[in-house]
Structure 1
Amino acid sequence: MLDNYVITIMSMMAIWSIVALGLNVMTGWAGQLNLGMGVYMGTGAYMSAMLTTMAGFTFWEAIVPAVLAAGAMGLLTGLPALRVREDSLAVLTIGLVFVFESLLVYLPYFGGPVGINRIPKAMLGGEALGNGAYLFILLLALALAIAVCWYVKRTWMGLALESVREDEHATAVIGIYPVRFKLYAFTIGGALAGLAGVFYAHFMRFITPYDFGFMPSIFVLVMLVFGGLGTIRGAVFGACLLTALPELIRFVQDYRSMVYGIVLVLLMLYEPKGLLGDGSFAWGQIQRGVAKVRSLFSKVIDANGEMHVKNP
């Protein structure tokens, strides 16, 4: 059985993986540099926390309205983002983060700077779920998020998002409306981040406005770039590795931040596409290894088939 420390790390890995998947839809596929993922994650977390602590909702009843609220927030923040691109979009979304954080801090309805505490645990069969059971539910949510992203990537929507990323004007010429698909990306990405926010709130059982400020938003972008921008595997791998890395290098104690920064700098210098990004060295090695294994298995199967034919 896993101890609580390992379960906690794995739970945070799953939560940040879902957020990274949401950012990948916006930035990796649609090409919209969004530095405000904390807004959507915070919307989901605060909506769920208020519904369960003030309105008598259960965890399960609060998930859907919280995710819908985060998706709506993604849509609303996507509207002003339609007027700007690239660096200007990044500055706009940073501004939205500070506006969102200020509203949570200065409006007492949201608990002010102290946030919301005593958020109830998820219940099942009249009993509160333990950390292990909650991790299992989290992994199911991550699997659902991966399935949604895989479906989007494999359909015409994925092709449209990538065409918007590459050239908006050419996309409009062939009859695809960039505005519509940008809003789709913001809505889907916001909903996924909101789902992660719900699980974060009920896992920590205490949230503050500072949990969803500027630094967490930057942290998610680093995860995505580290793993491989534009790929599902990269989003999940980057989120898992960078969540666990501070714990893995705990033995250096006060130098953890420096080691963390050096790792990121070296990655950007020698693997700018991310560790598992398309065209990266590591991903190429993995693909070649998988191809060799497949070739070996096919030879074994063919050899066995020939033996059966020769010796009926």
Structure 2
Amino acid sequence: MLDNYLITILTIMAVWSIVTLGLNVITGLAGQFNLGIGVYMGTGAYTSAMLTTVGGLTFWEAAVPSILAAALMGLITGLPALRVREDSLAVLTIGLVFVFESLLVYLPYFGGPVGISRIPSARFAGENLSNVQYLFVALGALGVVIVACTYLKRTWLGLALESVREDEHATSVIGIFPARFKLYAFIIGAGIAGLGGVIYTHFMRYITPYDFGFMPSIFVLVMLVFGGLGTVRGAVFGACLLTALPELIRFVQDYRSMVYGAVLVLLMLYEPRGLLGDGSFLWRHLQRAGTTVRQRVSKTFLFLTKGRPYAKNS
């Protein structure tokens, strides 16, 4: 039976994986350097918290409106982002984070700096979900997002987003409007991050504006780059590993920040594409190992179904 500590770590892993996948759509696929993913996560989180504490809705009833609110925030913030690129876009999204955080802090309607407490748990059949049951909800949501993001990369929309990332001018020449597809990326990525915010809110049952500020946004970007920018596997791997890493190195608690930072510095120096990014050292070896395993399994299957090659001549 899983203890509460492990359940908490696994649930937070699922939350950050979802949010990182949302950023991967914006930054990894569309190439828009966004440092404000916390705005979309916070929009989903606060919308769900308000709808359930003030509006009286259940977790399930508030989830869809909260995701749509986050997607709408992606559209609103994506419009000014169309006018800037690269470094300027990063500065713009940083500014949006501070504006969003300030609104939550100084408007008492959102609980001010204290935040919102007594957020109701998710319920099913009239009963509050246990931590284990809620973990399965979080993992189920993560599974749906992984499937959706994997499918997205294979669709015409995913191909268009990648073409915008590689060369906007060439993309416009072949009849694809970069601005339109950038907005699509902002809307989809923001909606996914909003889902992560909803799950986070009803697991913690208490949120503050600082949960969705600048540092959490940077943390998500680090997760994405660490795992492998532009890949679904990299986003999930980076989020899970960097969530668990501080817990794994508790035996050097006084030096955790130094070890954590040193790992990131070494990775960026020797594997800038991320641990599981396309063409990375680890991913190439995993692909070779997978090919070898498939070949051996295939040979074993043929041997068991057809027998030895010389059996017919004996």
Q: Secondary structure at the match of 2:217?
A: helix
- For residues 246 and 308 of structure 1, the distance between their equivalents in structure 2, rounded to whole angstroms, comes to 52
- For residues 306 and 54 of structure 2, the distance between their equivalents in structure 1, rounded to whole angstroms, comes to 70
- For residues 220 and 112 of structure 1, the distance between their equivalents in structure 2, rounded to whole angstroms, comes to 24
Written as runs of structure 1 = structure 2, the 5 A alignment for 1:162-201 is 162-201=162-201
Counterpart residue identity of residue 175, structure 1:
G
Residue 90 of structure 1 aligns with which residue? Answer: 90
Write out the 4+ residue segments of structure 1 that deviate beyond 6 Å after TM superposition. Answer: none
Q: Secondary structure at the match of 1:207?
A: coil
Residue 16 of structure 1 aligns with which residue? Answer: 16
Residue 222 of structure 1 aligns with which residue? Answer: 222
Residue 159 of structure 1 aligns with which residue? Answer: 159
Deviations 1:55-77 (A, max 9, x none): 10000000000000000000110
TM value normalised by structure 2: 0.98
- For residues 155 and 253 of structure 1, the distance between their equivalents in structure 2, rounded to whole angstroms, comes to 45
Deviation at 1:308, TM superposition (A): 7.4
Deviations 1:91-123 (A, max 9, x none): 000000000000000001101000000000000
Unpaired runs of at least 5, structure 1: none
1:104 aligns with 2:104: yes
Residue 142 of structure 2 aligns with which residue? Answer: 142
1:238 aligns with 2:235: no
1:3 aligns with 2:3: yes
Residue 255 of structure 1 aligns with which residue? Answer: 255
Deviation at 1:298, TM superposition (A): 1.5
Q: Secondary structure at the match of 1:252?
A: helix
Deviation at 1:151, TM superposition (A): 1.6
- For residues 76 and 265 of structure 1, the distance between their equivalents in structure 2, rounded to whole angstroms, comes to 35
- For residues 122 and 297 of structure 1, the distance between their equivalents in structure 2, rounded to whole angstroms, comes to 44
- For residues 305 and 210 of structure 2, the distance between their equivalents in structure 1, rounded to whole angstroms, comes to 63
Residue 267 of structure 1 aligns with which residue? Answer: 267
Counterpart residue identity of residue 80, structure 1:
P
Deviation at 1:307, TM superposition (A): 1.6
1:208 aligns with 2:208: yes
Counterpart residue identity of residue 105, structure 2:
V
Counterpart residue identity of residue 161, structure 1:
L
Deviation at 1:302, TM superposition (A): 2.5
Residue 132 of structure 2 aligns with which residue? Answer: 132
RMSD: 1.1
- For residues 48 and 305 of structure 1, the distance between their equivalents in structure 2, rounded to whole angstroms, comes to 56
Residue 66 of structure 1 aligns with which residue? Answer: 66
Counterpart residue identity of residue 112, structure 2:
G
Residue 293 of structure 2 aligns with which residue? Answer: 293
- For residues 17 and 105 of structure 1, the distance between their equivalents in structure 2, rounded to whole angstroms, comes to 27
Residue 33 of structure 1 aligns with which residue? Answer: 33
Counterpart residue identity of residue 182, structure 1:
K
- For residues 178 and 213 of structure 1, the distance between their equivalents in structure 2, rounded to whole angstroms, comes to 29
- For residues 31 and 308 of structure 2, the distance between their equivalents in structure 1, rounded to whole angstroms, comes to 54
- For residues 34 and 113 of structure 2, the distance between their equivalents in structure 1, rounded to whole angstroms, comes to 25
Unpaired runs of at least 5, structure 2: none
1:282 aligns with 2:282: yes
- For residues 108 and 303 of structure 2, the distance between their equivalents in structure 1, rounded to whole angstroms, comes to 73
Deviation at 1:196, TM superposition (A): 0.4
- For residues 180 and 11 of structure 2, the distance between their equivalents in structure 1, rounded to whole angstroms, comes to 34
- For residues 186 and 198 of structure 2, the distance between their equivalents in structure 1, rounded to whole angstroms, comes to 18
Deviations 1:141-172 (A, max 9, x none): 00111111112111000100000000001100
- For residues 218 and 31 of structure 2, the distance between their equivalents in structure 1, rounded to whole angstroms, comes to 16
Deviation at 1:303, TM superposition (A): 2.4
Deviation at 1:256, TM superposition (A): 0.3
Deviation at 1:299, TM superposition (A): 1.5
Greater mean deviation of Cα atoms: 292-301 or 274-283:
292-301
Q: Secondary structure at the match of 1:116?
A: coil
Q: Once the two structures are aligned, what percentage of the paired residues are identical?
A: 75
- For residues 303 and 244 of structure 1, the distance between their equivalents in structure 2, rounded to whole angstroms, comes to 43
**Equivalent residue pairs, number:** 312
Deviation at 1:306, TM superposition (A): 3.5
